[in-house]
């Protein structure tokens, strides 16, 4: 043995080693009397290439060989029961390793960043593997886990980009956060029955994954669980899932179809963000809420399939890009038949915000008696030519029918007292509007851009007309007001180039003069 670069440890071996750390120690033999290597003893001995472990060794302590980059092989005795946390972390030269059948515990980060390790078989005697134990083992292509494992720990295989296949132990119930993060070499996964939880970022960045089978036992999926799985083409979500969390499938750019079961009640923010090749999504009847930008970037979406219209009307959509119909422009029944003549059932009381936004395939709309409220932008951008709104409706929200450019006429329900802002904005084919005398206020931009509107009877109780309410209604020719009118914004009829005659009661002479100042071409009559 070369005495300048090797040492046979006796007695207090930690003290002896510390004395020789500056002498380029390359090999160490630990006496057989030693049963435990305490923590950090060989920490960052990067010149160490060979270690002979004692035959009676039981415990390899935390960080004991961490950073020993020159260590290429190691024979672990059959007596070892515990490999401590970080014990071999950063041993980049360690290419092969045989673990003894006596082993029971592998600590957290035990083999973290062992980039030279290509394969490993863990004996069935092991009952516990700590979080991040194999994190960053980028050359690891295969690994066998013990049968009795119940949980895949947090970050256990994070960054193991060379891992091409993986078989889960049958007893696994939990897959921890970041467990397979960045395992880009995985091409297919069958997660066994019994798994109930896949936690945050568990499979994020598994960009080679083309096939994924989720078990029926699954109850929860974590944040970003499958984000960035760019080769995944189809997805069936198990019936046990109730919530699809934030960014769960974001960036799955080759995902083409998704089936959401009846038990799912919520789809959270950005859940399917940038799934740019998604063509079909089918919704179950349990859905109640869809989060902000849930389908943002799904630019090739063609078909949105719904279970029933009543359920769909009740969904709370959090913003424009939360309702996929805004992208597909089409809505379908479960049988795959496109809905063109839409009838809202009588059991619906509220049609929620964005419910049918941009449904360009709709040719007609019939709302049954029983509906009381149509929320903001509910039918914004729809293509129907006719719409029947029953008198049971007492509220129509901002922009509810805005940009319905094929709509030709509309009758406002009797119980409506306020026509809110932007309600019929840019409904360019509307030629007539019928309002009851109960209407007191017509809000900002309510009929803005209704280019073909030529006839409108102002309600007897009308008091207020807002900003740009009828602006751009260039075919409007004649209007009249009652005694109740108190305020007409100076821009209310801006651009109404055909407006020739406006009638006011004698009691409203001051208001008439004010109107005349803004519309000099009009003839003002006092009656």
Indicate whether 9 pLDDT > 80: no
What is the SS3 assignment for 516?
helix
Torsion of CA 344, 350, 353, 354, to 10 degrees: -10
**pLDDT at residue 448, as a whole number:** 97
CA angle 256, 259, 265 (to 5 degrees): 130
Is 402:379 a contact under the CB 8 Å cutoff? no
- Of the pLDDT bands very low, low, confident and very high (cuts 50, 70, 90), residue 27 is confident
% of the chain at pLDDT higher than 70: 95
Indicate whether 489 pLDDT > 60: yes
Indicate whether 512 pLDDT > 70: yes
Residue 332, Ramachandran bin (φ over 0: left; ψ between -120 and 50: alpha; else beta): beta
**pLDDT at residue 20, as a whole number:** 43
Q: 52: part of which helix (H) or strand (E)?
A: strand 50-52
CA angle 309, 313, 317 (to 5 degrees): 130
Over residues 129-147, mean pLDDT = 94
**pLDDT at residue 24, as a whole number:** 64
Is 184:205 a contact under the CB 8 Å cutoff? yes
Q: Which residues contact 393 (CB under 8 A, 6 or more apart)?
A: 367, 371, 372, 373, 374, 413, 415, 416
Give the C-alpha separation, 373 to 98, whole Å: 69
**pLDDT at residue 129, as a whole number:** 95
Q: 327: part of which helix (H) or strand (E)?
A: helix 325-328
How many Å separate Cα 73 from the centre of its chain?
A: 45
- Of the pLDDT bands very low, low, confident and very high (cuts 50, 70, 90), residue 153 is very high
Indicate whether 171 pLDDT > 80: yes
**pLDDT at residue 19, as a whole number:** 46
- Of the pLDDT bands very low, low, confident and very high (cuts 50, 70, 90), residue 23 is very low
Indicate whether 439 pLDDT > 70: yes
Give the C-alpha separation, 82 to 104, whole Å: 6
Is 419:440 a contact under the CB 8 Å cutoff? no
Indicate whether 14 pLDDT > 60: no
Residue range 190-203, pLDDT digits in tens: 899 999 999 999 99
% of the chain at pLDDT higher than 90: 79
Which residue, 394, 442, 436, 403, is CA-closest to 420? 442
Domains parsed from the chain with CATH numbers: 1-149 (3.80.10.10), 233-339 (3.80.10.10)
Give the C-alpha separation, 367 to 22, whole Å: 86
**pLDDT at residue 519, as a whole number:** 78
**pLDDT at residue 457, as a whole number:** 86
Of 15-29, 213-227, 359-373, 401-415, give the lowest mean pLDDT range.
15-29
Calculate the alpha carbon distances from 215 to 165, 262, 334, 392 in Å: 18, 16, 24, 46
- Of the pLDDT bands very low, low, confident and very high (cuts 50, 70, 90), residue 181 is very high
The 10 Å CB-count burial string (b at 16+, else e) for 156-167 is bbbbbbbbbebe
What is the SS3 assignment for 75?
strand
Give the C-alpha separation, 62 to 56, whole Å: 18
Give 312 or 500, the one with higher predicted confidence.
312
CA pseudo-torsion sign 329, 335, 341, 346: negative
Q: Are strands 441-442 and 523-526 parallel, antiparallel or unpaired?
A: unpaired
Q: Which residues contact 520 (CB under 8 A, 6 or more apart)?
A: none
**pLDDT at residue 320, as a whole number:** 84
Indicate whether 364 pLDDT > 90: yes
Mean pLDDT of the chain: 91
């Amino acid at each position: 043995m070369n005495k300048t670069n090797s040492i046979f440890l006796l007695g207090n071996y930690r003290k002896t080693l510390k004395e020789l750390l500056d002498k380029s120690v390359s090999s160490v033999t630990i006496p057989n009397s030693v049963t435990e290597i305490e923590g950090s003893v060989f920490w960052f001995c990067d010149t160490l290439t060979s270690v002979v472990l004692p035959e009676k060794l039981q415990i390899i302590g935390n960080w004991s060989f961490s950073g020993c980059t020159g260590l290429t092989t190691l024979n672990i005795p059959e007596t070892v029961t515990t490999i401590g946390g970080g014990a071999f972390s950063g041993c980049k030269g360690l290419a092969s390793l045989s673990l003894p059948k006596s082993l029971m515990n592998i600590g957290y980060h035990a083999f973290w960043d062992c980039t030279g390790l290509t394969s490993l078989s863990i004996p069935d005697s092991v009952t516990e593997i700590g979080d991040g134990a194999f994190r960053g083992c980028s050359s690891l292509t295969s690994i066998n886990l013990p049968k009795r494992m119940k949980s895949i720990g947090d970050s256990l295989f994070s960054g193991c980009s060379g891992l091409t296949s993986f078989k889960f132990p049958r007893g696994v119930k939990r897959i921890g956060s970041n467990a397979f993060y960045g395992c880009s070499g995985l091409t297919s996964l069958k997660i066994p029955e019994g798994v109930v939880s896949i936690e945050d970022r568990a499979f994020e960045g598994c960009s080679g994954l083309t096939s994924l089978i989720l078990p029926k036992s699954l109850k929860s999926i974590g944040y970003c669980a499958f984000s960035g799985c760019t080769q995944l083409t189809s997805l069936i979500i198990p019936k046990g899932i109730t919530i699809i969390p934030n960014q769960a499938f974001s960036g799955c750019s080759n995902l083409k179809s998704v089936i959401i079961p009846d038990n799912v009640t919520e789809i959270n923010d950005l859940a399917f963000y940038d799934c740019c090749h998604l063509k079909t999504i089918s919704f179950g009847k349990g859905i109640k809420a869809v989060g902000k930008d849930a389908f943002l970037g799904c630019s090739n979406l063609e078909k949105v399939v719904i279970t029933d219209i009543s359920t769909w009307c009740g969904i709370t959509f959090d913003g424009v890009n939360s309702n996929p119909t805004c992208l597909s422009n089409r809505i379908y029944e479960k049988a795959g038949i496109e809905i063109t003549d839409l009838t809202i059932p009588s059991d619906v009381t509220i049609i929620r915000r964005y419910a049918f936004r941009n449904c360009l395939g709709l040719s007609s709309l019939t709302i049954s008696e029983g509906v009381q409220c149509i929320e903001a932008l509910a039918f914004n951008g729809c293509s129907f030519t006719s719409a029947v709104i029953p008198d049971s409706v007492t509220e129509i929200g901002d922009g509810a029918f805005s940009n319905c450019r094929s709509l030709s006429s509309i009758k406002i329900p009797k119980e409506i007292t306020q026509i809110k802002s932007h309600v019929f904005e840019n409904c360019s084919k509307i030629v007539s509007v019928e309002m009851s005398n109960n209407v007191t206020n017509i809000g900002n931009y309510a009929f803005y851009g209704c280019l073909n509107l030529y006839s409108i009877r102002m309600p007897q109780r009308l008091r207020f007309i807002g900003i740009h309410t009828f602006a751009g209604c260039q075919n409007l020719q004649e209007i009249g007001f009652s005694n109740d009118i108190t305020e007409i914004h100076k821009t209310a009829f801006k651009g109404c180039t055909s407006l020739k005659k406006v009638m006011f009661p004698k009691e409203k002479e001051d208001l008439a003069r004010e109107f005349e100042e803004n519309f000099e071409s009009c003839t003002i009559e006092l009656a």
